[in-house]
Amino acid sequence: MAVDEQFNVTFIIEGENNPTDFTWSPSKDFQLLWGPQQGRSTSISIVNGKRSKSVQTTYTYVLTAVKEGKY
C-alpha cells in the first residue's frame, strides 16, 4: 500500500437491536480521513403468523496508510 492511498473499512452489525455503543479506532499505521458514516436498514417478515425483525447497521471509515508497506 502506498502512502496517501485511500481505502474503506466497513463493519456490518446484524441483529434485532441497533448497536448504540460501537466504537473503533485504526492502528497507528493508518490515519483516519473520514468517518464513521453510519447506515441502517430494517427488515420485517411474517411467516406463519410469526413476526421477525432484523436490523443491519454499517459503519464505514476512510483511511490512508501513514507509510508504505504491506498490511
pLDDT tens across the length of the chain (71 residues) = 898 899 999 999 998 776 777 889 999 999 999 999 999 999 999 999 999 988 899 999 999 999 998 88
pTM given for the model: 0.76
b or e along 24-53 (b: 16 or more beta carbons within 10 Å of the residue's beta carbon)?
A: eeeeeebeeeebbeeeeeeeeeeeeeeeee
pLDDT of residue 18: 65
Largest CA distance in the chain: 56
What are the domain boundaries of the chain?
6-65
Non-local CB neighbours of 21 within 8 Å, separated by 6+ positions:
none
Q: What is the pLDDT of residue 4?
A: 86
The whole-number pLDDT of residue 70 equals 87
